Structure 1
Amino acid sequence: MRRLLTFSSVLLATAGFVPAAPAASASDITTELAAIPRLTVVSKDPAPAGFQFFKLTFTQPVDHRHPEGRTFEQRFTLLHRDSSAPTVAYTSGYNVSETPNRSEPTRIVDGNQLSMEYRYFTPSRPEPANWSRDLTIWQAAADEHDAVQALKKIYRGRWLATGASKGGMTATYFRRFFPDDVSGTIPYVAPNDVIDPVDNYNRFLANVGTPECRASLKALQRDALKRRVELGERAKAAAAKKGYTFKTVGSLDKSLEIAVIDSYFGFWQYQKASDCASVPKPGAPAATVWDWFEKVESLNSYSDQELDSVVPYYYQAAVQLGSPEAYDSYLRDLLRYPGADTPRTFVPASVRLPRFDYLAMPDIDFWVKSQGRQLLFVYGSNDPWSAEPFQLGFGTKDSHRYFVSGGNHGSSIAQLPPAQAAEATSAIQRWAGLPESAPARSRMVTTPSDFPRFDTDEMMSSRPRL
């Protein structure tokens, strides 16, 4: 699916260079957390040595314009190291991970991490739900503001904000509306669709990689659509085995067609250029073609069950965020559902879609260019979502933007050339108020084995669009 990735895949950063003050005991920090109004400690779970890991809920206003009104419970997790260390506010823009992962900025500052579930991703959803009033980028930013302000009672060091993909967008929007809450913002692979539907995505897709790779992908797509009956039987059998239905998009055949269209985008989003060699040739055995799509873009990606957990993303793409146009002109003679590959297709009919807000993204873009400060954007040169990046402008201060050469939607600071990685690392440390104790590059180390890896698909079973 061409939606933004659901969890940060940045894996490398800094560890072990921050002088650690004596950490609060488990009982001390648990008591402090329990004393924060609106915050509930759900559980304290196992964590790597030197850390404590908590699952939390936080009572949020459904509508921050009327905080005295209805409320809902928003899920958080907290990775605690030391209340005097820097703290990173992390969001995937989707659900919250229930394992003690650390984002790259958290590793760089060796700090604490507050991870937040985005509103309307279950179970962090008000009931009854008023999507058009309550699911906006401002309401979500206000969620993060309330959470950060509440936890600052304990975490007295400097705060940073980060996220990847939709999470990177979320971190940027949070900073726009509440610029003084954190001392630095590090968004990864965050698209900036300023004016929808005026896009640069298809121009990017027409030129990414080599002509040979692009041709092989397009040939496979055409072959798959010509063999839709054969592949459709496999999709039908797989759907029956998993109990999949297709009421939202309309049919399994329609889901298959959209998945074939999106597979080109999905390949460049997640695969490496070297994977071009593994693209099946037209006429390859159906099992080989099926397995390739399962790796890149499942032909059952748009079942009701796969869509259910990400409807809030598609809703926001349809009403505020914008989205890429379908890259399918070379397939038009084989399409049965032209024009269906849009966010509106993936939102159930029971959810009303208001008129698109054409002012929301230009407002964010103008703020970044005119008032943004302490911003550090990381993109991948082969990632389609990086075709429309945030740009620094005439009023942007103390900010940076980097592109990982050949990088995809999992690009990170650690993948940059050494000089750029050192520069980015130094900026983050400075924003966090840390001393320059050694050359930044020497502190870039691989993921410690006592922490699980970030997984781009940890939260979902199918490849995400954003």
Structure 2
Amino acid sequence: MRNKGISALVCAGLMAGAAVLGGTVPAAAQGAAGTAPRGQDIRERLERIPGMTVVSVADKEGFPLYTLTYEQPVDHRKPGGATFTQRATLWHKATDKPTVLYTGGYTLAGGTTAVTKLIDGNQISLEHRYFGKSRPTGAAGDDWSKMTVEQEAADEHRLTRALRAIEKGKWLGTGASKGGMTATYHERLYPEDLDAVVAFVAPNDANNRDDRGYERFFANVGTKECREGLNAVQREMLVRRDALLPRFEADAVNNGDTFEETLETTDRAYEFAVLDQVWNFWQSGTEADCGSVPDAKKATDTELYDWSKEHGFSVYRDEDLGINGLGPYYRQAATQLGWADLKFKHLKGVRHYPDLYQPNSVLPAGMRGTYDNRTIADVDRWVKTRGERMMFVYGENDPWSAERFTPSHRDSYRHVVPGSNHGASIAKLPAAEQAQAVATIKRWADVK
């Protein structure tokens, strides 16, 4: 759940937009004299795909970057019904190069993925349904029953099949955090689409009723002194609620934060933010940050509150949680993806709302849902037993990596970056392990 987890599940800039406006086909994309420009040929082929629109084309490092929209069924089980337009971009280098299908799991992600750079590939970036501008209009847009793992995987399947007619090389799926989950779900449901998947820090809450993996993580991460210091600060933030809540309320007024549609009151919003503190500390920080943890008993109210705001105290507000914010993620967490229902034993006696820490708490009433783990449990079993050419990269000190995918023995691998957080990457692996991972990805992509 975590606001910063998901605003940086949102993680590592995955929510960054990739709006591309204007521009021309670069010189590098021009053909020989008397022939049609290569970029123009690709544009024409894109425009011939039913439902595909080329919104614009710009230059990116000497190659055309196409901004696209693609008409998708709201319900793939009823392809003749309502539709919506899904945003995507295609950075095209050559039809015989490998192609990377990248989903951030949220809005249209910008930037070039590490996998794309490694294999010098084309890159397709896709906005997840119901996020940003890729959501149905009218009554269909309010029907959250179509915001599912299965429907998004079907979106990606249709787009992949359409663009494979142009991009003829190997196809690799990738993404980080929720994007890594999304790539994994696509691979399970349509295993013939992609030649391989490289997923970074992808959580796998296969059994939402069993959160022992998360509890073990927080009982062992870092040093005992750091864990105890963080727990003491978290508890003190609730012990001093009467003194600190007015500061929180003043910040809310200054920032224009409201809570009526989701968490309902400032007291509930304050407690929720406190509950997220330790998770967020480890998600984006490292053990080196432990030295900054204040002595909870000796710190003044100002010292305690100001340190917390800089180290994991993340505010959940209405403005970021509805249909135009992170609400679609929390809808998925509430219905399919699951969440870490931590026990917070060290906070016994100072919590006001024992059932607060779950995704429906931060959703408007019309977006709340009922959990069903069948799809995620199925994906977990399939990855363990039948998944092929799948690589998972996790951070040792990342709470999102506490419950992980276990790959099969079918040319599939899992790497854990020592001491790393939610920004774990192949580049941070020990040299020998990094070389092995790089060689595997290049082999999958059929590049030297």
Amino acid at match of 1:274: A
Residue aligned with 1:350, SS: helix
RMSD: 2.1
Query: Which of 323, 327, 333 in structure 2 is aligned with 1:317?
Result: 333
Question: Is this contact kept in 2: 1:165–1:190, CA < 8 A?
Answer: yes
Structure 2 match to 1:424: 437
Write the distance in 2 (CA, Å) between the matches of 1:270 and 1:331. 23
Write the distance in 2 (CA, Å) between the matches of 1:252 and 1:325. 22
Structure 2 match to 1:135: 147
Give unmatched runs, 5+ long, in structure 1: 12-19, 436-466
Structure 2 match to 1:15: none
Question: Is this contact kept in 2: 1:270–1:408, CA < 8 A?
Answer: yes
Question: Is this contact kept in 2: 1:10–1:412, CA < 8 A?
Answer: no
Question: Is this contact kept in 2: 1:87–1:157, CA < 8 A?
Answer: yes
Write the distance in 2 (CA, Å) between the matches of 1:34 and 1:363. 37
Structure 2 match to 1:378: 393
Amino acid at match of 1:27: Q
Displacement after TM superposition at 1:46 (Å) = 4.7
Q: Bigger shift: 176-185 or 358-367?
A: 358-367
Q: How big is each residue's C-alpha offset from its partner over 1:147-176, in whole Å with a ceiling of 9 and x where there is no partner?
A: 111111221111100111111111000000
Does residue 219 in structure 1 map to residue 247 in structure 2? no
Amino acid at match of 2:321: L
Q: How big is each residue's C-alpha offset from its partner over 1:223-242, in whole Å with a ceiling of 9 and x where there is no partner?
A: 21122233322222222122
Structure 2 match to 1:269: 283
Structure 1 match to 2:421: 408
Displacement after TM superposition at 1:352 (Å) = 4.6
Displacement after TM superposition at 1:342 (Å) = 0.6
Question: Is this contact kept in 2: 1:56–1:76, CA < 8 A?
Answer: yes
Write the distance in 2 (CA, Å) between the matches of 1:34 and 1:290. 55
Displacement after TM superposition at 1:177 (Å) = 0.6
Residue aligned with 1:43, SS: strand
Residue aligned with 1:32, SS: helix
Does residue 6 in structure 1 map to residue 20 in structure 2? no
Compare the two structures and name the one with the higher helix fraction.
2
What does 1:425-440 align with in structure 2 at a 5 Å threshold?
Answer: 425-435=438-448
Residue aligned with 1:161, SS: strand
Query: Which of 118, 122, 126 in structure 1 is aligned with 2:128?
Result: 118
Displacement after TM superposition at 1:209 (Å) = 0.7
Write the distance in 1 (CA, Å) between the matches of 2:307 and 2:135. 35
Q: How big is each residue's C-alpha offset from its partner over 1:102-125, in whole Å with a ceiling of 9 and x where there is no partner?
A: 111111111111111111113211
Write the distance in 2 (CA, Å) between the matches of 1:167 and 1:358. 19
Q: How big is each residue's C-alpha offset from its partner over 1:13-40, in whole Å with a ceiling of 9 and x where there is no partner?
A: xxxxxxx998864433333322222111
Q: How big is each residue's C-alpha offset from its partner over 1:358-396, in whole Å with a ceiling of 9 and x where there is no partner?
A: 311211011112210000000111111111111124xx4
Residue aligned with 1:333, SS: coil
Structure 2 match to 1:359: 374
TM-score normalised by the chain length of structure 1: 0.85
Write the distance in 1 (CA, Å) between the matches of 2:239 and 2:232. 11
Query: Which of 305, 330, 347 in structure 1 is aligned with 2:346?
Result: 330
What does 1:151-300 align with in structure 2 at a 5 Å threshold?
Answer: 151-199=163-211, 200-247=213-260, 248-282=262-296, 283-299=298-314
Amino acid at match of 1:338: P
Structure 2 match to 1:347: 363
Give unmatched runs, 5+ long, in structure 2: 15-27, 32-36
TM-score normalised by the chain length of structure 2: 0.89
Amino acid at match of 1:404: V
| Change beyond 3 A, Cα 1:157–1:88 | same
Residue aligned with 1:334, SS: coil
Residue aligned with 1:222, SS: helix
What does 1:36-185 align with in structure 2 at a 5 Å threshold?
Answer: 36-47=49-60, 49-97=61-109, 99=110, 101-127=111-137, 128=139, 129=141, 131-185=143-197
Where relative contact order (Cα < 8 A, 6+ residues apart) is larger, the structure is 1
Write the distance in 1 (CA, Å) between the matches of 2:254 and 2:186. 42
Displacement after TM superposition at 1:131 (Å) = 4.0
Residue aligned with 1:193, SS: coil
Write the distance in 2 (CA, Å) between the matches of 1:79 and 1:212. 48
Amino acid at match of 1:225: L
Write the distance in 2 (CA, Å) between the matches of 1:201 and 1:432. 34
Write the distance in 2 (CA, Å) between the matches of 1:285 and 1:38. 60
Write the distance in 2 (CA, Å) between the matches of 1:236 and 1:387. 33
Question: Is this contact kept in 2: 1:265–1:384, CA < 8 A?
Answer: yes
Question: Is this contact kept in 1: 2:205–2:338, CA < 8 A?
Answer: yes
Percent identity of equivalent pairs: 44
Displacement after TM superposition at 1:196 (Å) = 1.2
Q: How big is each residue's C-alpha offset from its partner over 1:309-347, in whole Å with a ceiling of 9 and x where there is no partner?
A: 111111111111111112421112111111201111112
Residue aligned with 2:273, SS: helix
Structure 1 match to 2:22: none
| Change beyond 3 A, Cα 1:327–1:82 | farther
Displacement after TM superposition at 1:259 (Å) = 1.1
Residue aligned with 2:276, SS: helix
Write the distance in 2 (CA, Å) between the matches of 1:6 and 1:80. 27
Question: Is this contact kept in 1: 2:360–2:368, CA < 8 A?
Answer: no
Write the distance in 1 (CA, Å) between the matches of 2:439 and 2:163. 26
Question: Is this contact kept in 2: 1:21–1:84, CA < 8 A?
Answer: no
Aligned residues: 420
Structure 2 match to 1:29: 42
Does residue 369 in structure 1 map to residue 371 in structure 2? no
Q: Bigger shift: 278-287 or 147-156?
A: 278-287
